[in-house]
């Protein structure tokens, strides 16, 4: 029997990283851009019923952070305020996958922590596919 671990509840851990400049500039390479420490501080200790609820809260916190949200166009600010990930550029999309994605650096299937922000990177859809294709 397969259990989809992302559907399990969990408590957010991790510190994130201090970011400066354009936060998502590295979302198309490596493990992507780190979770900013100020967002980790807002989420740490909170419990979510599943990873989808975490993802919604994550983007909503980004929308409420002036330093980060000012780096996005208005339509993406609206998406994040509505608990949706911002859209990536067309060249960074992959088929119908158009929004930035949260990548687990150590895969959940290999014991990676689902709710540890230090195990997450924000990546473009194209980069996420590349990571899992080559991993």
Which residues are marked as active site? 6, 103-104, 128, 132
For 3, what's the count of Cα atoms within 13 Å in the CB-facing half-sphere?
4
50 Cβ partners below 8 Å, 6+ apart?
Answer: 6, 7, 8, 9
In contact, 25 and 33? CB cutoff 8 Å: yes
Q: Give exposure, 96-120, as e/b (b: 16+ Cβ within 10 Å).
A: eebebbbbbbeeeeeeebbbbbbbb
Q: CA gyration radius for the chain?
A: 14
Helix (H) or strand (E) holding 51: helix 51-64
């Amino acid at each position: 029997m397969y259990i989809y671990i992302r559907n399990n509840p969990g408590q957010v851990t991790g510190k994130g990283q201090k970011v400066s400049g354009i936060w998502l500039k590295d979302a198309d390479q490596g493990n992507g851009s780190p979770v900013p420490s100020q967002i980790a501080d807002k989420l740490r200790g909170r419990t979510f019923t599943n990873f989808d609820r975490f993802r919604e809260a994550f983007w909503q916190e980004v929308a409420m952070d002036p330093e980060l949200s000012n780096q996005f166009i208005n339509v993406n600010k609206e998406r994040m305020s509505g608990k949706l990930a911002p859209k990536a550029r067309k060249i960074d999309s992959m088929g119908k996958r158009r929004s930035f994605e949260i990548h687990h650096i150590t895969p959940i299937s290999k014991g990676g922590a689902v709710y540890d922000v230090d195990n997450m990177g924000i990546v473009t859809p194209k980069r996420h596919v590349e990571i899992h294709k080559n991993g």
